[in-house]
Amino acid sequence: MKIIQITDPHLVGPGEHLYDLDPAERLSRCVASVVAEHADAALCVFTGDLADRGALQAYGLLREILRPLPMPVRLLLGNHDDRQAFREAFPETPLDPAGFVQSVLDVPAGRLLFLDTLERGARGAGVLCPARLGWIGARLAEAPDRPVHVFMHHPARSIGVRHFEQMSLTAPDAFLDLVREHGGVRHIFFGHVHLPVWGRWGSLSFSAIRGTCQHIDLELDDPDVTFAEGSPAYGVILLHGEDVIVHQRDFLAPAPRFDAMTGRRLSAPPTN
């Protein structure tokens, strides 16, 4: 099963810029790349920070940009989003009984959980309150013998970057205990950090990708980070049996190509 992960587009209003970047143009080119190269994907998941300031106009712009995608799309919320404005723009989005943007999807590769970690006033950190945790626990209990893959915006624990130490999931142990108790959670996919990172929290494997708008320079010990333009990217996730494979696809800057046998420089790939 192939799943596309797109994260942190940070859309602003039509014609507006963010850090001298055009988030809508970058996301549009991302979508064009997905359509051209991965139209066979079964699903596309956006892991949060859809809008930089949670503006209704930004969510309207997102709806327009997504129209060319041929596969179903699941939209998750991040700390920059506004739940009410999002629900107004995307009323068809599945919700849990408490009104959080959480949903479940059963596929041949197992059960996919889509979580809502948005909490206003949390200063960029993520929250899974008792209501959300109860929903997660119930969904895991329904599939005791199935592999599970989790998508969320915030990392559950540290990724080793000081800037994010207070901006990951608050009080993560209750969530991680649920996940470990199930025993079949294969991987946690998240956004938020604007960095490509892969690893394990104990027995739980995780990954994040760079995102389509600004990303950050890797500064492990600095409490402040520097935003960088760089090349935006999306993830290509392959699920097969117990295997989880994640590729990061840079799609804007065409890099030089060389013949592997002769070393001869080839023409650069076309921009999307």
Q: Which two tokens stand for residue 35?
A: 């359509």
Rounded to two decimals, the pTM is 0.93
- CA dihedral (123, 224, 232, 159) positive or negative: negative
Amino acid 256: pLDDT: 67
Tell me the per-residue pLDDT of 83-92, one tens digit each, with 9 for 90 and over: 999 999 999 9
Pairing verdict, β 233-240 and 243-250: antiparallel
Rounded Cα gap, residues 258 and 272, in angstroms:
20
What is the maximal distance between C-alpha atoms in the chain? 61
Q: Is the pLDDT of residue 187 over 70?
A: yes
Rounded Cα gap, residues 178 and 195, in angstroms:
27
| DSSP label at residue 18 | B
Tell me the per-residue pLDDT of 63-72, one tens digit each, with 9 for 90 and over: 999 999 999 9
Q: Please report, for residues 26, 104, 193, 217, the alpha-carbon distance to residue 30 in angstroms, rounded to integers and kept in the order given.
A: 6, 25, 19, 21
Q: What is the mean pLDDT of the chain?
A: 93
Q: How many CB atoms lie within 10 A of CB 231?
A: 15
Confidence of residue 26 (pLDDT cuts 50, 70, 90): very high
Q: Which two tokens stand for residue 220?
A: 């492990």
Q: How many CB atoms lie within 10 A of CB 141?
A: 11
Amino acid 272: pLDDT: 46
Which residue in the block uniquely carries the two structure tokens 């009323």? 91
CATH domain 2-266 topology: Purple Acid Phosphatase; chain A, domain 2 (3.60.21)
Pairing verdict, β 103-107 and 233-240: unpaired
Domain boundaries, the chain: 2-266
Whose CA is closest to 136, among 193, 167, 174? Answer: 174
Q: Which two tokens stand for residue 150?
A: 């989790």
Tell me the per-residue pLDDT of 30-69, one tens digit each, with 9 for 90 and over: 999 999 999 999 999 999 999 999 999 999 999 999 999 9
Report H helices in the chain: 23-37, 56-66, 83-89, 130-141, 173-182
Tell me the per-residue pLDDT of 117-146, one tens digit each, with 9 for 90 and over: 999 888 899 999 999 999 999 999 999 999
Q: How many CB atoms lie within 10 A of CB 240?
A: 11
136: phi > 0 → left, psi -120 to 50 → alpha, else beta; which?
Answer: alpha
Amino acid 266: pLDDT: 79
Q: Is the pLDDT of residue 268 over 60?
A: no
